[in-house]
């Protein structure tokens, strides 16, 4: 399940002129605990990378894209993804828990796309 966290609501407010920093990093983790709106961190963070691309081409939608090389994710059992506004700590605006998990053995690359659709 994917959900916007309580802190994520502040990110939405920032988009409308508030003061919270926009998301700049995506983190991947190995925790499988169910999402709760009060989540502030991943359960078991494995690595965090800068958001490489912001795609605003679709109306009322933003896509954040982050990439990992095989060496960065070798040994990771991916089970959760979070979006943050800092390279460590920071506000987590959303968290997604996979229905299964993916094991990375150092041979595969990873690209994570977080898509937010705003219903106006």
b/e per residue 7-40 (b: at least 16 CB within 10 A): bbebbeebeeeeebeebbbbbbbbbeeebeeebe
pLDDT digits (tens, 9 = 90+) for 67-107: 999 999 999 999 999 999 999 999 898 999 999 999 999 99
Higher pLDDT, 118 or 114: 114
3-state DSSP call for residue 8? helix
Higher pLDDT, 73 or 6: 73
Domain assignment of residue 25, given as a range: 2-117
pTM to 2 decimals?
Answer: 0.84
- Dist CA 119 CA 105 (whole Å): 39
**Number of domains comprising the chain:** 1
- Dist CA 8 CA 23 (whole Å): 9
Span 7-20, average pLDDT: 61
């Amino acid at each position: 399940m994917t959900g916007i966290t309580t802190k994520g609501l502040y990110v939405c407010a920032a988009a409308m002129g508030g003061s919270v920093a926009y998301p700049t990093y995506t983190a991947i983790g190995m925790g499988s605990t169910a999402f709760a709106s009060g989540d502030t961190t991943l359960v078991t963070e494995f690595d965090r990378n800068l958001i490489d691309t912001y795609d605003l081409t679709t109306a009322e939608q933003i896509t954040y894209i982050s990439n990992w090389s095989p060496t960065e994710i070798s040994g990771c059992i991916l089970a959760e993804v979070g979006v943050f506004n800092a390279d460590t700590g920071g506000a987590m605006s959303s968290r997604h828990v996979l229905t299964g998990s993916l094991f990375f053995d150092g041979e595969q690359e990873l690209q994570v796309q977080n898509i937010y659709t705003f219903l106006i």
